[in-house]
Amino acid sequence: MTSTRAILLALALVPALGGCKWLKSPGKDNVEPPAELTEIKGELPVQKLWSHDLGDGVGKSGTRLKPAYREGRLYATDGDGNVVALDAERGSQVWKTDTDTELGSGPGLGGGIVAVGSLHGQVIALDASDGHELWRAEVSSEVIATPAVSGDLVVARAHDGRLYALDAKDGTRRWVFDRTVPLLSLRGNGAPVIAGDRVLVPFDNGKLIALKLSDGGQVWEQTVANPEGRTELSRMVDIDGDIAVGSGEVYACTYQGQIAGVTLDAGRQLWTREFSAYGGIATGGTQLYAADADGTVWAFDARSGGSLWKQDALAHRALSTPAAVGNLVAVGDFEGYVHWLKSDTGELVARTKLGGGGVRAAPVAANDVLFVTSAKGDLAAFRVSGG
């Protein structure tokens, strides 16, 4: 493991319930410096459409509060407990609700509900039209992964490995799926994803599991990466970022492990290749995009897993999960810069700075607009001309 990866890992580690240990980071003298940003030839113009202040951001919680877009509105959370709905075109505030608790997740949307998780073991449902609270339910530990909402269920992942299906009407518990978490894990959880009548759940032990949405019964389990090594540190294979669902396929990547594609119906492995990432995967047509733990952005063929291009000009800049926006791919870094790359070649074509604090949460794309949040509470909408 390189020194930079060791630093990032130490910053990302968190003690799980049951006795996980903290690790100390190496001295600053051993850190590999981030790549310097050089001039982009023929740089495309970036237009900031609007910006919004989300308060103090995530503070020291280490969470990644990814916003969500639905039908012309952008929904976002902050660490102080506020949930806001904004007009996605203008950035004007439609409503704001103070949940009176520290939030650990971004908003999950569906069926007229905005569902968020708290750092104090609660799932809270708000009415998407005006933000009034519908219900809140207690779960076994903090919720730092975005809940999934579909039909009459809200599905939330607690940090201790339990998955809760809650009735969307009143928050009553419908079923629970329990999976033991490793002794050591990264600060983060892969969010559950609902696909048809199934819920797909990534876990910190490198496994991807499909459950029946109706009753939580297991349909299949696939190992994306096996823990290897003699120490708990070397055996970490968290699926910590966004998984991606295509037309009949599911894609996931792990820390210190693999990136893989499996079938949605049976979990049969289609392809796999060595890969290590703190974040997740974005899809764009027949391509997948991911940033590895060393700060290289990759494009893969979704059908075969073959590498199409890689861009290493952003090495060691602690990149976010990418987002596909039009013919471009966008990624944020630890200084708050947002970088745009051509989706067919990986060439860097544009750059702008969001503000103070790094971009930890994956940007969100809707139509040709990119919505980005920073760890210090900056939220902005950008459009690149000529991309």
User: How does the average pLDDT of the chain come out, rounded?
Assistant: 90
Model confidence pLDDT, tens digit, residues 223-258? 998 888 788 888 788 999 999 999 999 999 999 999
Model confidence pLDDT, tens digit, residues 73-100? 999 999 899 999 999 999 999 999 999 9
DSSP character at residue 62: -
Model confidence pLDDT, tens digit, residues 209-232? 999 999 999 999 999 988 887 888
Among 202, 215, 271, which residue's Cα sits nearest to residue 242?
A: 202
Residue 66 and residue 374: Cα distance in Å, rounded?
A: 10
**Does the global pTM surpass 0.85?**
yes
Q: Say whether pLDDT at 36 is over 70.
A: yes
pLDDT for position 169: 97
Model confidence pLDDT, tens digit, residues 266-285? 999 999 999 999 999 999 98
DSSP 132-201: -EEEEEE-SS---S--EEETTEEEEE-TTSEEEEEETTT--EEEEEE-PPPSEEES--PPPEEETTEEEE
Which residues, 6 or more positions from 101, have their beta carbon under 8 angstroms from its beta carbon? Answer: 81, 118, 119, 120, 122, 124
Average pLDDT over residues 190-218: 95
Q: Say whether pLDDT at 11 is over 60.
A: no
373: Cα separation from own chain's centroid: 12
Average pLDDT over residues 23-49: 75
pLDDT for position 18: 35
Model confidence pLDDT, tens digit, residues 332-376? 999 999 999 999 999 999 999 998 789 999 999 999 999 999 999
CA torsion 320-321-325-328 (nearest 10°) is 70
Residue 355 tokens, joined: 């503000």
Q: Say whether pLDDT at 5 is over 50.
A: no
Residue 13 tokens, joined: 């580690």
Residue 333 and residue 250: Cα distance in Å, rounded?
A: 26
Residue 20 tokens, joined: 């996980």
Q: Say whether pLDDT at 17 is over 90.
A: no
Residue 217 and residue 155: Cα distance in Å, rounded?
A: 14
Longest Cα separation, the chain: 56
Model confidence pLDDT, tens digit, residues 143-188? 999 999 998 999 999 999 999 999 999 999 999 999 887 767 677 7
Residue 250 and residue 288: Cα distance in Å, rounded?
A: 11
DSSP character at residue 25: P
Q: Tell me the residue type at 373.
A: T
- How far, in Å, are 230, 283, 289, 333, 367 from residue 326 at the CA level? 44, 11, 13, 20, 7
- How far, in Å, are 160, 335, 364 from residue 36 at the CA level? 39, 12, 26
pLDDT for position 31: 67
Q: Say whether pLDDT at 326 is over 80.
A: yes
DSSP character at residue 30: G
